[in-house]
Amino acid sequence: MFDFKDHAVLVTGAGAGIGLGIAQAFHGAGARVALGDLREPGLARAAEKLGRSERVFTHSVDVRDGKSVDAFVQAAERAIGPLTVAVANAGVYPNSPVLDMTVDEWDRVMETNLRGVFLTCQAVGRRMVAQGTPGKLITISSGAYNSGRKGAAHYCASKAGVVMFTKVLAMELGQHRINVNCIAPGLVTVDRNLNEVSDEYVKTLVATIPWGRPGSPEDIARAALFLASPFAEFITGEVLSVDGGSGTGRTYLPYSGTTRR
């Protein structure tokens, strides 16, 4: 359905999980893909999964560091050509109650989840504007942007920041025909060592999902393909929730009346 054979796509946090799923989807649709991640072993495994070819480029990047991000973007364009799509996906998912949280913990989450999105979108956006070509920027937030949970004040705040950053950037780049949209995943099943959540948490949350299951990286990837496609040409500054309906409201409540209507 989606054809990206003439596109060059950059994805951060692409060594595993959602980022890898997104990179695989674009690669499967014919795109040339640049995978960035802080973990080089993860990048090596990701490249093997995609099949090493001239359409796959990997590069270590620390999204908290502007020089590192700029180096990744420049290297990606040398390897796969001018970027037409970028997905700012890199993020961390720690847990810590506010009263126990250190400043370093807070800063690490904000620097990765929010500064990283800013730096990635800024670097790619500058290249797109300089080249005078339309493009698509996609940020990855979370259902946590408007639904808090205990132990994740830093995470929730960072993801709320991503949403508002996306909206403002969409205002600024509209004149350049650069779409900027956000995907807000719900619970997504990835490698257990990356999930960092308990079985009890997963079981409780799944019970509130009308669709009856967690999401998968493929679910998020399909949303990214849509937002990067011509079908979404007139969509910008939006948040697309991909959560099986968990964000619809208090799904755990029974019917309020005695008779179903």
Active site residues: 155
Whether residue 20 contacts residue 49, with contact meaning beta carbons closer than 8 Å, is answered with yes
- Determine whether 206 is exposed, middle or buried from the number of CB atoms within 10 Å of its CB (0-12, 13-18, 19+): middle
Whether residue 35 contacts residue 86, with contact meaning beta carbons closer than 8 Å, is answered with no
Please list the helix, strand and coil fractions of the chain in percent, rounded to the nearest 5, in that order: 50, 15, 35
212 Rama class: left (phi>0) / alpha (psi -120 to 50) / beta:
left
Q: What is the largest CA-CA distance in the chain?
A: 65
Q: What are phi and psi of 85, to 5 degrees?
A: -140, 140
Cα-Cα-Cα-Cα dihedral sign, residues 84, 49, 224, 201: negative
Q: Count of CB atoms within 10 A of residue 258's CB?
A: 5
End-to-end CA distance of the chain: 38
Strand partners, 10: 34, 86
